[in-house]
Every structure is written in C-alpha cells, then in structure tokens.
C-alpha cells in the first residue's frame, strides 16, 4: 500500500482508539499524519473513506477472533471458543465494535466494499455455528441458528456498553454471556434431535 495512505490510516486508527469517533476529525488526522487536510481527500474519499477503512478493520478483527479450528467432534466447545474470542475482541476494540454496530449519527453509511466485509464475517459466523446442527439441516435452519446465537452474544455486549450496565460488575459479564450461550446451544441441539 502507498506509504502516505498507510500513515493516514495509522494516524486515524490511533486517534480513534484513544478518543473515539468524536476525536476523529479530518483536520486532526491530517495534523497527526503531518500533511494538510486536503491529503485526506486525495488519498481517501474524505471522512467516509476513513470510516470505511475502520469499519472494514473492525470486521476483520471480528473475523480473526472467531477463526477457530472447527472441531466436528465437539462443536459445542468450538462455538464457545469462538464466542469467547468474539467477546474479547468487542472489548479490546470497543470503538471499532461501536462503529460497525453503532448508529452512525454523522450520516455515515458503509460503502459496498465495507458491506461485503460485513457479509463475509456473517457467512463465517454462520458456518461456525452451523457445526452445531446435524449435517442434513437445511440452509434456513443454519442461518436461523446462527442468528440466534449471534443475537444473544451481540445483545449482551451492547447492553454491557450501555449506561445501565453498571448494575453488573464488569468482570462478571463474560461468564454470564458464555453461560447463556451454553444454555442456548443445548436448547438448539436438543431441538434438532
């Protein structure tokens, strides 16, 4: 990749990790990357381009986190391991997670390319979770099971990020989430037997 382009991206990533979305202004990125504001527009398509890059980065992190070896002998453990990785990534890259699942008040809409990155992660998640079901389960069932587990984990993480989250001590979330996922897995598996 272009050297300048890379410099801009690391500057943006830096600002984003430290101060969140509100710290990510075009001028601040340019200052951090030692060039003038117009540079952001010649190397990226303005702020939309920067956000797109971070959006894709976010889904890549998620994808990397659940890249567990799919164990067909014990799919339950495989899915739980993937869930653990997913949770950890959501905490480690909270800003990214907020960006890819947040509400984008500044009018940001992910580009075609960014949406494809999201879809790619979705497909992989579906595949991991599908190992829970018997081999002859059809596509709809797999997708539905995947959405169920994903929604559960994602919902927990989102509630954790919420203002009311302080009723739960921070360390207790992971166990709580994994317990719930375990329960859900058992219910799903007994349904398809």
Partner DNA sequence: TGACAAAATATAACAGTGTTATATCGTGTA
Partner DNA sequence: TACACGATATAACACTGTTATATTTTGTCA
* 78 binds its own copies per the rule CB under 8 A: no
Cβ atoms 65, 88 nearer than 8 A: yes
Which residues from 48-87 bind DNA, rule CB under 7 A? 48
Q: How many CB atoms lie within 10 A of CB 113?
A: 11
Query: Among residues 1, 3, 72, 107, which is the contact residue for its own copies, using CB under 8 A?
Result: 107
Q: Using the rule CB under 8 A, give the single segment among 1-9, 32-40, 71-79, 97-105 that binds its own copies.
A: 97-105
Measured CA distances, 3 to 8, 10, 33, 100, 102 (Å):
9, 11, 11, 26, 30
| Cβ distance to DNA smaller for residue 42 or 74 | 42
CA 92-93-95 angle, 5° bins: 135
What tokens does 175 get? 């166990």
- Alpha-helical (H) ranges within the chain are 3-19, 26-32, 38-43, 46-65, 75-92, 94-101, 112-130, 139-161, 173-191
Which residues from 133-162 bind its own copies, rule CB under 8 A? 143-144, 147-148, 150-156, 158-159, 161-162
Alpha-carbon dihedral 172, 178, 179, 183, rounded to 10 degrees? 160
Query: Among residues 12, 16, 39, 99, which is the contact residue for DNA, using CB under 7 A?
Result: 39
Q: What is the total count of residues that contact its own copies (CB under 8 A)?
A: 46
The Cα–Cα gap between 18 and 23 comes to 8
* 168 binds its own copies per the rule CB under 8 A: yes
Question: Which of DNA, its own copies, none binds 168 (CB below 5-8 Å, type-dependent)?
Answer: its own copies
Q: Using the rule CB under 8 A, give the single segment among 4-12, 39-47, 63-71, 183-191 that binds its own copies.
A: 183-191
Binding interface with DNA (CB under 7 A) = 4, 24-28, 35-43, 46-48
**Which residues lie near its own copies (CB under 8 A)?**
20-22, 98-99, 101-107, 109-110, 115, 118-119, 122, 143-144, 147-148, 150-156, 158-159, 161-164, 167-168, 176, 179-180, 183-184, 186-188, 191
């Amino acid at each position: 990749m272009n050297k300048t382009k890379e410099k801009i991206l690391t500057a943006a990533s830096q600002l984003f990790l430290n101060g969140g979305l509100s710290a990510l202004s075009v001028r601040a990125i340019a200052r951090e990357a030692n060039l003038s504001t117009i540079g952001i527009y010649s190397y990226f398509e303005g702020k939309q381009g920067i956000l797109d890059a971070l959006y894709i980065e976010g889904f890549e992190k998620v994808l990397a986190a659940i890249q567990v070896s799919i164990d067909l002998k014990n799919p339950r453990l495989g899915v739980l391991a993937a869930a653990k990785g997913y949770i950890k990534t959501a905490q480690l890259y909270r800003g990214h997670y907020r960006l890819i699942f947040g509400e984008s008040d500044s009018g940001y809409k992910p580009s075609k390319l960014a949406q494809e990155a999201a879809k790619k992660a979705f497909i992989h998640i579906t595949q991991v979770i599908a190992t829970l079901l018997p081999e002859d389960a059809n596509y709809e069932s797999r997708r539905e099971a995947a959405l169920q587990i994903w929604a559960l984990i994602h919902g927990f993480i989102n509630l954790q990020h919420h203002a009311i989250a302080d009723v739960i001590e921070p360390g207790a979330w992971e166990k709580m989430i994994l317990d719930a996922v375990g329960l859900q897995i058992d219910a799903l598996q007994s349904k398809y037997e």
